[in-house]
Structure 1
Amino acid sequence: MASTIQALPTEVVYLITAGEVIDSLASVVRELVENSLDAGATRIVVSLWPQQWRIRVADNGCGMNLDDLQQAATAHSTSKIRSSADLWKINSLGFRGEALHSLTTLADLEILSRVLWVEN
């Protein structure tokens, strides 16, 4: 009997992973707002254009530097986990490192960020 089990193509794996995290506009908003809250935001503005499946989340969180910005949407990237031991002491809302990457497989994603500099 010929084998019927085979590895999925990478793009299918990404879509399955994306489907586990992003299954509606509400889940996109939830993931992005959780990121804002984890960044210390005290003001979050969510704009929705449901007919176009378009969302914009703007906040006053701490922002990201260029290196972090370039890494933020790659697979399995997170600032909150460094080792398996960290899984037992998670104190943030978003930590999986999948939401932004999942969005890149489903949509055009644009991230704008700036780090606020405070002079001493």
Structure 2
Amino acid sequence: MFKNKWKLLLLNLLLTLLFFLIFSSNYNLLNFINSLFYLSFIYIITVLLMYTTKGGFFDGVTFGFRRFNSIMFKRNDYLEEWRDKPLPSEKFNASLYQRLKFQSMSLLVLLIILLILYYIM
């Protein structure tokens, strides 16, 4: 969707500003930091889940459940297609991971800078 990472970062900042203007009772720096945290938290959780999937953590569990399903429910599985299905780490989208990783790191750095400014002032 967004190939340019800087445009997506700008969109995320505009989205944060929109959340801040809509849901904030007081317009101050702390509430903007909270809005930025909520958005960056979603990105960070998504990137960590993708990182875990990329490492192959869920491959064994997925393979085990496919094997269990084929043994327990005998179907007309002529070629044992469950062995040929790609595992989660094989279906991994590296370009999406890199884009989301950049967004999460950028938003996290901005969040830390704003927190430092908040506590200094």
Q: Smaller-chain TM-score range? A: under 0.3
* TM-score, normalised via structure 2 length: 0.27
Bigger CA radius of gyration: 2
**Normalized per residue, which structure has more helix?**
2
**Normalized per residue, which structure has more strand?**
1
* TM-score, normalised via structure 1 length: 0.27
